[in-house]
Amino acid sequence: MPSSTVSAAQAESAAEAILGGRTSLGIELGSTRIKACLVGEDPSVVLAVGSHDWENELVDGLWTYPIDSVWSGLQAAYSALIADAESRYGVRPTTFDALGVSAMMHGYLAFDADDQLLTPFRTWRNTNTGPAAAELTELFGVNIPLRWSVAHLHQAVLDDEPHVAQVTHITTLAGYVHAQLTGRKVLGVGDASGMFPIDDATRGYDAVLVERYDQLIAERTGADVSSFSLAALLPEVLAAGQPAGELTAAGAARLDPTGALEPGIPLCPPEGDAGTGMVATRSVAPRSGNVSAGTSIFAMVVLEGPLGEVHHELDLVTTPAGDPVAMVHCNNGASELAAWAGLFGRFSAAAGTPLGNDAVFDVLFREALDGEPDAGGLLAYNHLAGEPIAGLTEGRPLVVRTPDSRLTLPNFMRAQLYGVFGTLSLGMRVLAAEGVAIDEMFAHGGMFRTAGVAQRFLAGALGAPVTVTETASEGGAWGIAVLAAYLRAASAGQSLDDYLRDRVFATTAFDTAAPDPADVAGFAAYLDRYSAGLAVERTAVTSLPVA
C-alpha cells in the first residue's frame, strides 16, 4: 500500500508521473470488492488505490450480479482511486501508459448479434451444470468443472433454453468489460482456459475438442455440422504482453462519467483472478505455485508436463503466458470466517469496546496461535455454496464438535482457519499423488495480512514452505496493473517470468514460513475428521433445504 510517510521528493516524483501518464492502472472485479490500483514507472510501487464493495445475488436459483452494478461499481472504484491520488499527491490522473481489466473467472455471459445480454450473468458459483460438465468431461477426456463457461453453455443446450438459438458470442466478466472499453472481443489465455480447454502447443483453444463439440451439437440437433461453430462464439485468445486494443471514447465515458479520462490508452489482454494471482505472487514458472484466498480459495501449480490421469479435483488451466497449470479450485473460501469475525466485532461494540475490522481479525487470528494443533477436536465447515471437490451440490456452514472436544476461543478460531483450507487440502492430496513437484508456494489475499498466522497454518496444511510478500494483500488489482505495465517490456522481447523476477520483485521482501511438525500432524488429524464429517454436511443439505 502507499506509504503514509512519503517524502516531499517522492510525492513530487509521483505527481509528475501521474500528470505525465507514466503510470499503469489495473482494475479487478472480485467476488465481494471491485478494486482499482495505480502503479508507477516502477510497477512494484503502488501510488493509489480505490475500491467498491458489492455482493452477488441469488435470483431464480442462480448466483448473479446485475450488469448495472458492474458499471456503477467500476465507476465508484475508479472515482475512489482518483480521489486517493489527489489526496496523496495533489493531482488527478486523466490518462495512463496502460490499463488492464481482470475479474472472477468462468461463468456465463451470452450475447446476441446486437450485443444484448440474453440472460442474467451466471457466475462461477453456480452448480446447476452437473449434467453438462459430466457429459463434456467424458467427451473430451479432460476434466470440465461445473463453473467453466462451456459447461454453462452446454447446460443451457441440455435444458433447451430459448436464448441458445440467439447466442452469437459468449465471454467472461473480464472479457465483457474489456469489450465495452475497447470494442474488441478478446481474452487473456489464462481467463480463456477457464472457458474451454487450451492446446499447450498452440496456446489457443484445443481445435480437436472444438470439433468434437461441434459434432455433438450436430448430432443432438440433427443439423449439418457446418451449421454450428463453437469457435465463432468464443473470444479471441491473447497471451500476456500482446496488444489488446485501446480505450475508446465511449469506453472512457463508461469508466469515468465526468469526462476527464482521455481515450487512446492501450489495454493488455483481460485476465481472470487466477492469472492475476499468479502474477501478484511471482508464480508463473514451472514448479512454482500460489494459493489465493478470498470468497473462493484456489491453488495454482505450474506444471512441467501433463498429468497422468483425469481428476475431477484438478482443473487444467494456464498462466497468463499460456503455460499449463493444475488448479485446485474451491467455491468456498474466507466468507464464513469473515462472518464470524463480524459477530465478534459486534460483540466488542456491544460490550463498549468497539474494534475496527482489521483489529478484530488480528485479535482472533492471534488467539488461534494458542489453539491445540488439531483444533481441540472442533470442526468448521465453510460451505456457503456447493463444493464439487467435497461432493456437495449446496452448502450449509457448520461448526461440529463432540462432547469431548475442547471448546475454547483459540481452538474455535484455529478450526475456522483450518476450515478455510479443508477442501483445498483434499484437492492438493490428489496433486501430490500425481507426483507434481513444487519448489515455491506463495500465498496472497486479505487473510494473510496478519503476519505469521494463516500463512503458518497453510504451511502446516500443505506440508510445504509458504511465502508471503509485502504485496500479498494487494491481490489481483495490483496483478493486472503489473500485466498492463508489462505491455512495454513484452514489446522488447522480455518474458513474463523474467519481467517479474528482474523488474517487479527484484527488491521485494519475502517472508517464508516452514511447516511446523506439530501443525502438520495436527492438521492431518483435523483433515481426517473433516473428511469423515462431510457426511454430516451432506445430511444438513438434504435436511435443511433453503427456502
Strands ordered across the beta sheet of 315-318 = 315-318, 324-330, 297-302, 288-293, 440-444, 466-469, 510-513
- Is the residue at 430 inside a domain? yes
Kind and range of the H or E element at 469? strand 466-469
**Can you give the CATH number for the domain in which 333 is found?**
3.30.420.40
**In order along the chain (547 residues), what is the average pLDDT of each group of 10 residues?**
60 95 97 95 94 94 96 98 97 98 97 97 93 97 95 97 96 98 98 97 96 94 81 98 98 98 98 92 92 89 92 94 94 95 97 96 97 98 93 94 97 98 95 89 86 94 88 77 96 94 90 95 98 97 90
pLDDT score of 473 = 54
pLDDT score of 2 = 36
> Distance between CA atoms of 214 and 192, rounded to whole angstroms?
18
Measured between alpha carbons, how far is residue 437 from residues 280, 297, 303, 343, 456 in Å?
Answer: 21, 21, 8, 40, 20
Q: Which of 131, 142, 538, 145 is nearest to 313 (CA)?
A: 145
CA 484 to chain centre: 18
- Is the residue at 251 inside a domain? no
- Is the residue at 363 inside a domain? yes
User: Which triple of cell numbers denotes residue 314?
Assistant: 484438478
Give the torsion through C-alpha atoms of 337, 339, 341, 345, to 10 deg. 180
pLDDT score of 6 = 64
> Distance between CA atoms of 101 and 267, rounded to whole angstroms?
8
- Is the residue at 231 inside a domain? no
- Is the residue at 317 inside a domain? yes
- The DSSP secondary-structure symbol of 500 reads I
- Is the residue at 318 inside a domain? yes
pLDDT score of 1 = 35
Question: What are the φ/ψ torsions at residue 110 (nearest 5 degrees)?
Answer: -115, 135
- Is the residue at 202 inside a domain? no
Other C-beta atoms lying within 10 Å of the C-beta of residue 204: 19
Q: CA 230, 232, 235, 241 torsion: positive or negative?
A: positive
CA 213 to chain centre: 27
String of DSSP letters for 104-129: ----BEEE-TT--B-SPPBPTT--TT
Kind and range of the H or E element at 482? helix 476-491
- The structure's pTM equals 0.85
Tally the domains of the chain: 1
- Is the residue at 163 inside a domain? no
The one-letter amino acid at 399: V
* Structural domain for 422, as ranges: 283-471+516-547
